[in-house]
Structure formats: C-alpha cells, structure tokens
C-alpha cells in the first residue's frame, strides 16, 4: 500500500510538473514552416488570441530533413529544430493527404510529391495518373494534421486532427493551397479550393488539431 501511494504521488507530481512547465502559449510563437499558405492559416487561427506569429524563415532556419515514419514524428522534428534555432516556443504542422485507393499515399510524403519547388500541380497530376491506372476516378480520402508544440525547455505536446472526404477531378478553386483543389470534404459539394477560407478553417484537419490545442493551452483568453 505504501509503495502504491508513493507511485501515485510520483505520477501526480510528474503530471503537475508537466502541466506547470507547459502553461499557456507565449505572446509570440514561431511556426516551423516556410510555406506562406500554411503561415497564413496559422495567423487566421491565432488571430483572436492576440499572439504574434513568426515563421522559421524569419530566423533563417533551414527546414530539417523529415525522417520520421509518422506525421507526429515529422512535426516534432520540425518544431524541435525551430525552437533550437529561435529560442522560442515553436509549433510545427506535418500534414498530408491520404488516398484510400493508393494505400494511404501520398501520406507523409505529400509535400515531397510536389518536389523541392513545391509544385502541387505536379503532385496532383501524379495522383490523377495513379488513380487512372487503377481505373478509379473518385475515391475516399482524408487529410491528417499533426501539430507539435515545443517549448525551449524541450517539453512538448502533439495534437492530431483529421477531415474525411473524397478526391475529385479536375481540380477546382483558387483558395487554399496544396491538394485543396481536389479534396471535397464529407457533406459538401465543393472542394477546399473553392471554399471560403473562414469556412475551411472551421472544419479542416488543421482546425480540428488546433481545437484540441486551444482547449488545453489557450484557455480561450
């Protein structure tokens, strides 16, 4: 009984220590990305909280190699590198499109399919060609977003959100970025690329992950 109480007390102490070390987010956060579209979405998400958003590019931080096997692994790699380079709280997003008929591809390789020049038109063509080879025109798919928050003391938290829908060609819409023009979320007839940004932000994978983050860290201040 004594040992059990000691273990429970130690677990509670550790949990309280972690919670205290996390606290609220700072007034300035660095987003571990050079993607202007992604940075804009984060600014929109954090707008009501009066938190200043900077990017890894503002600190000349080179994007690290993403060697993880999951979205969460890669998000942590990027957030840790950005916190190390900036000395500030960093948030990294690793997200991607998972197409059922392609066995979950491009998945964690979503950005890499676009190449170093971030040509998502080419990446979309790759998906189209692969689906045509399988004689599939429309297929179920989902977006995944893992948000990793890393503090200068190396404590971290990871939040994951998803949104389900289907792939549709040809691409439609000029809003958003990446694979948005070919993704229709469940319950809608338009793509993310056609959707008003405010509406997308309310249902997207990134918004779903952010909702989990804000419940724990932002306290709706």
- What residue spans define the domains of the chain? 2-217
Distance (Å, rounded) from C-alpha 152 to C-alpha 66? 21
Averaged pLDDT, 73-95: 96
Distance (Å, rounded) from C-alpha 182 to C-alpha 171? 5
pLDDT of 103 > 50? The answer is yes
Name which residue leads in pLDDT, 149 or 2: 149
Please give the pLDDT value at position 18: 40
Q: Are strands 90-99 and 28-31 parallel, antiparallel or unpaired?
A: parallel
pTM of the predicted structure, to 2 decimals:
0.81
Averaged pLDDT, 116-137: 91
Cis before 170? omega within 30: yes
pLDDT of 180 > 90? The answer is yes
CATH topology for the 2-217 domain:
Maf protein (3.90.950)
Please give the pLDDT value at position 120: 94
pLDDT of 197 > 60? The answer is yes
Positions marked catalytic: 94
Averaged pLDDT, 174-196: 95
Least confident of 12-26, 49-63, 86-100: 12-26
pLDDT of 21 > 50? The answer is no
Q: Which two tokens stand for residue 123?
A: 């990446």
Please give the pLDDT value at position 220: 55
Could you tell me what percent of the chain has a pLDDT over 70? Answer: 86
């Amino acid at each position: 009984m004594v040992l059990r109480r000691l273990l429970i007390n130690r677990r509670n102490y550790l949990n309280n220590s972690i919670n205290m070390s996390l606290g609220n987010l700072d007034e300035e956060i660095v987003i571990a990305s050079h993607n202007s579209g992604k940075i804009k979405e984060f600014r929109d998400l954090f707008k009501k909280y009066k938190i200043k958003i900077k990017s890894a590019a503002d600190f000349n931080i080179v994007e690290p190699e993403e060697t993880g096997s999951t979205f969460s692994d890669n998000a942590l790699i990027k957030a840790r590198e950005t916190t190390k380079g900036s000395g500030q709280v960093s948030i990294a997003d690793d997200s991607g499109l998972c197409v059922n008929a392609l066995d979950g591809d491009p998945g964690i390789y979503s950005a890499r399919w676009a190449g170093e020049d971030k040509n998502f038109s080419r990446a979309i063509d790759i998906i189209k060609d692969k689906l045509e080879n399988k004689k599939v025109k429309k297929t179920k798919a989902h977006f995944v977003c893992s948000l990793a928050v890393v503090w200068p003391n190396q404590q971290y938290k990871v939040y994951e959100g998803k949104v389900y829908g289907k792939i549709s060609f040809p691409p439609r819409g000029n809003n958003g970025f990446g694979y948005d023009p070919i993704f229709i979320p469940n319950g809608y007839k338009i793509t993310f690329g056609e959707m008003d940004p405010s509406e997308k932000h309310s249902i997207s994978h990134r918004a779903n992950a952010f909702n989990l983050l804000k419940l724990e860290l932002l306290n709706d201040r």
